[in-house]
Homo-oligomer: A and B are copies of this chain.
């Protein structure tokens, strides 16, 4: 292989490629413009959490999730801290448990500790799912256990549904509230063959996001019992999230929810197909090997410095881009995250296969 243009970064090559394998599209202003196109301009804004534009969407999502009530938040970070705070206050225990790579632990600058003074127990191990045994072996009392389905930072893995049911039953017996980080809840319904409400029945509270599989701008829903939701509105105000108008996020969430909720099965099929193509390449494997949602991680048994020029070349010569970045996972390995979406079906299958066949050949030459 000749690297014709070593000055081009992977991100540049990715953005310039004709075919991008993952996602729904670039995050651009047209995403919002499209969502607003059909909205009557005379529609009134919500007003500090009230008004039909927010009430109706909250009601709709409460029904989808099978909960008494739901509240729209600007972000999941805000919604989840608040959910955990409420459970801690009710139990009068300032401690919760979650996975070592939970969003709260690695992406929120310790907001839960700094703002709410809640201690966290990191349950299980970073490279695997939380098990029933982990829950049973907890020595300290916790108000709440948070489970993230799928567990994003390990490629989007899921426990067997029966294990989930057992954890839920154990928590109910032992007075531990169970909260679902359902940022990608809709994306797992095809694998579990359950409705969102069926899955949420195992949990006392749930958060969902509108900019992962749904592809909206931003925004989150927290759902649970009516009292909890009422209390969450007070905390939303305290956090500075009770904006005079959240409608830009509400309208786009509703629009893209309606656009994509019926496509989750297709995204799941795409992910399985794509993962099998990667796994057929030398020195490439996916985690999980067989995806259980629209996402997985792609691992190369080769240093990022060696993989990067290959991916730049592939994007330039085969017009096919699979990632804009590589995470170094060791001296001789690297990885990236893949989430399938609307873009996948726009890529001609022969283009994709030609590109991956070439990549496979290069990987084989390098090492295998």
Q: How far is the CA of A294 from the CA of B40 in the complex (A)?
A: 31
| A8 located at the interface, meaning its Cβ lies under 8 Å from any Cβ of chain B in the complex | no
Residues 99-114 of A, flagged 1 when their CB comes within 8 A of B and 0 if not, give 0000000001111001
| Contact count band on A | 35 or more
Residues 209-227 of A, flagged 1 when their CB comes within 8 A of B and 0 if not, give 0010000011000000000
Q: How far is the CA of A211 from the CA of B244 in the complex (A)?
A: 9
**Nearest chain-B residue to A239 (Cβ)?**
B239
| A280 located at the interface, meaning its Cβ lies under 8 Å from any Cβ of chain B in the complex | no
Contact at A111–B41, with CB atoms within 8 Å?
no
- Give the copy number: 2
Partner of A240, one of B33, B40, B75, B114: B75
A361 to chain B, nearest CB (A): 34
Residues 225-239 of A, flagged 1 when their CB comes within 8 A of B and 0 if not, give 000000000110111
| A358 located at the interface, meaning its Cβ lies under 8 Å from any Cβ of chain B in the complex | no
Q: How far is the CA of A288 from the CA of B28 in the complex (A)?
A: 46
Q: How far is the CA of A247 from the CA of B54 in the complex (A)?
A: 20
Contact at A238–B33, with CB atoms within 8 Å?
no
Q: How far is the CA of A270 from the CA of B94 in the complex (A)?
A: 54
| A169 located at the interface, meaning its Cβ lies under 8 Å from any Cβ of chain B in the complex | no
| A241 located at the interface, meaning its Cβ lies under 8 Å from any Cβ of chain B in the complex | yes
Give A residues with C-beta under 8 Å from B: 26-33, 36, 39-45, 47, 73-79, 81, 108-111, 114-116, 211, 217-218, 234-235, 237-249, 251
